Amino acid sequence: MTRKTSLVSADWVAENINNKSIAIIEVDEDTTLYDIGHIENAIRFHWRDDLQDGLIRDLISKDKFEALLSKFGISNDTTVILYGGNNNWFATYAFWYFKVYGHEDVRLLDGGRKRWELDARPLVTAVPSRTATRYVAKDRDNSIRAFRDEVIAEIGKSNIVDVRSPQEFSGELAAPAHLPQESGQIKGHIPTAKNIPWSKAANEDGTFKSDDELKALYVGAGVDLRKDTIAYCRIGERSAFSWFVLHELLEVKNVKNYDGSWTEYGSLVGVPVALGA
Amino acid sequence: MRTCGATPGGPDLTGVNVATQSIIQGAVLCEGINDGVPNGAPVTNAYVRLLDSAGEFTAEVPTNAQGQFRFFAAPGAWTVVVLAAGAREEVKVQAQQGTPVDLIIEIKD
């Protein structure tokens, strides 16, 4: 059911590309690809420059979120379609972010930029102009966001799902393998966490696996879907991907994304840490 | 055009602390003219996936404007998979700290 309301196919986007009631947004960490080519009529959000506070480590304030969406001509009743590279990591992060601020109709392009490109669908360089609006956000919904003290308190109680690669989980690597490995955090994982890499939920082309496959993945790894769940990774974007799978596709209740993730947890003094597979 | 004595396939390593890293990098090129030298045009919209020794996904990067990619892996056996529109190539590599693996992967037309 939520697959119908949270996910759209590349065909759907192609058919709705000039639909005035939707806003297509490319979201990424490295948004230079947008300049090379993007889906027609897509606007660009930069994961850091547009969506991070910049001074303190947090989401941008409600006022700033309202200003951002207003500037890009997004209304409260706009259907927001998100996509990006990196297998939609930052697009699912933005999806979670839009939900935190209460946006009603937000959907993800299944497979993101990768599926679009592997299909050899057209990309354009023209930047669309949209008429500014007056967007009104809701107060943050922290029922889908976990904070550090809660994570520590839930060790051994809630499902804690570490969605990083097996090498990051075990303590062999400090970051994903496409990033330099120097970092300020210690290595390892939160005790009792189950390692279910985000990538296991995706097909090679970046689209999501079927609901049956996804359910088998989490249950098979020891996640009790009746219990509360906290997902984390390194900076909270890959865990937004797994949050999307659990909360939006499988409709599991009480799933939170711990966006502080390992860069916060691995820097805390005195908290328990586990090593190994 | 790639000629004898040209730089390796991957991005320039200037500024990268090669000694502390186990780098796997390279370039994805279209099949060139049949002269035994990979000299086709760079594939700039390919996706390169790094799988560990158990075949599990570890990382993925898009190729840059020169068709290049780079991973910071750990020492050991890895598989590099290249996805491009209508193509899929797989290369097995052995990463070691201090000595980058530099690949040229050709995509058949």
Element (H, E) at A230: strand A229-232
DSSP state of A200: G
Contact check, Cβ <8 Å, A181/B21: yes
Element (H, E) at A67: helix A62-71
Considering only CB atoms, B83 lies closest to which of A176, A180, A204, namely: A204
Q: To the nearest 5 percent, what fractions of chain A are helix, strand and coil?
A: 35, 15, 50
Q: Find the mean pLDDT for residues A22-50.
A: 94
- The verdict on A32 touching B (C-beta cutoff 8 Å) is no
Picking from A194, A203, A168, the residue whose alpha carbon sits closest to that of residue B58 is A168
Instruction: Specify the higher pLDDT residue, B6 or A251.
Output: A251
Considering only CB atoms, B50 lies closest to which of A119, A177, A180, namely: A177
Q: From residue B77, how far is each of A171, A266, B24, B97, B105 by CA, in Å?
A: 18, 28, 11, 12, 18
pTM of the full structure: 0.89
Using a CB-CB distance cutoff of 8 angstroms, which residues of chain B are in contact with residue A178? 50, 59-61, 70-72
Domain A2-140 has CATH 3.40.250.10: yes
- The verdict on A179 touching B (C-beta cutoff 8 Å) is yes
Contact check, Cβ <8 Å, A178/B72: yes
pLDDT for the residue numbered A227: 96
pLDDT for the residue numbered A8: 97
The catalytically annotated residue of A74, A82, A106, A233 is: A233
Considering only CB atoms, A181 lies closest to which of B45, B61, B72, namely: B72
Q: What is the pLDDT of residues A101-121, one digit of tens each?
A: 999 999 999 999 999 999 999
Q: Find the mean pLDDT for residues A9-34.
A: 94
- Least confident segment among A36-40, A270-274, B39-43, B58-62: B39-43
Using a CB-CB distance cutoff of 8 angstroms, which residues of chain A are in contact with residue B57? 165, 197, 199-200
**Annotation says A197 is catalytic:** no
Q: What is the pLDDT of residues A42-81, one digit of tens each?
A: 999 999 999 999 999 999 999 999 999 999 999 999 999 9
Question: Consecutive sets of 10 residues in chain B, 109 residues long: mean pLDDT of each?
Answer: 52 90 94 66 92 89 92 94 94 96 88
Contact check, Cβ <8 Å, A178/B70: yes
CATH 3.40.250.10 in chain A, residues? 2-140, 144-265
Assembly ipTM: 0.78
- pLDDT at A1 > cutoff 60: no
Element (H, E) at A113: helix A112-118
Interface with chain B: mutation pick from A178, A203, A209, highest number of B CBs within 10 Å: A178
pLDDT for the residue numbered B5: 38
User: What structural domains does chain B harbor?
Assistant: 21-97 (2.60.40.10)
pLDDT for the residue numbered A90: 95
Quote the mean pLDDT of chain A.
95
Confidence of residue A242 (pLDDT cuts 50, 70, 90): very high
Cβ proximity of B3 and B78 under 8 Å: no
DSSP B3-68: -TT---SS---TTS-GGG-EEEEEEEEE---SSSS--PPB-TT-EEEEE-TTS-EEEEEE--TTSE
- pLDDT at A5 > cutoff 80: yes
Please give, rounded to a whole number of angstroms, the shortest distance from the CA of A79 to a CA of chain B. Answer: 28
Task: Tell me whether strands A106-109 and A159-162 are parallel, antiparallel or unpaired.
Answer: unpaired
Residue of A nearest to B73 (CA): A177
Please give, rounded to a whole number of angstroms, the shortest distance from the CA of A151 to a CA of chain B. Answer: 25
Task: Tell me whether strands A229-232 and A159-162 are parallel, antiparallel or unpaired.
Answer: parallel
- pLDDT at A203 > cutoff 70: yes
Please give, rounded to a whole number of angstroms, the shortest distance from the CA of B80 to a CA of chain A. Answer: 12
Contact check, Cβ <8 Å, A205/B83: yes
Chain A 196-255, CB below 8 Å of chain B: which residues? 197, 199-200, 204-205
pLDDT for the residue numbered A179: 78
Report the share of chain A in percent with pLDDT over 70.
99
pLDDT for the residue numbered B59: 87
| Fold of the domain built from segment(s) A144-265 | Oxidized Rhodanese; domain 1 (3.40.250)
Question: In the A/B pair of chains, how many CB contacts fall below 8 A?
Answer: 68
pLDDT for the residue numbered B1: 37
Contact check, Cβ <8 Å, B62/A165: no
Residue of B nearest to A175 (CA): B72
- pLDDT at A130 > cutoff 80: yes
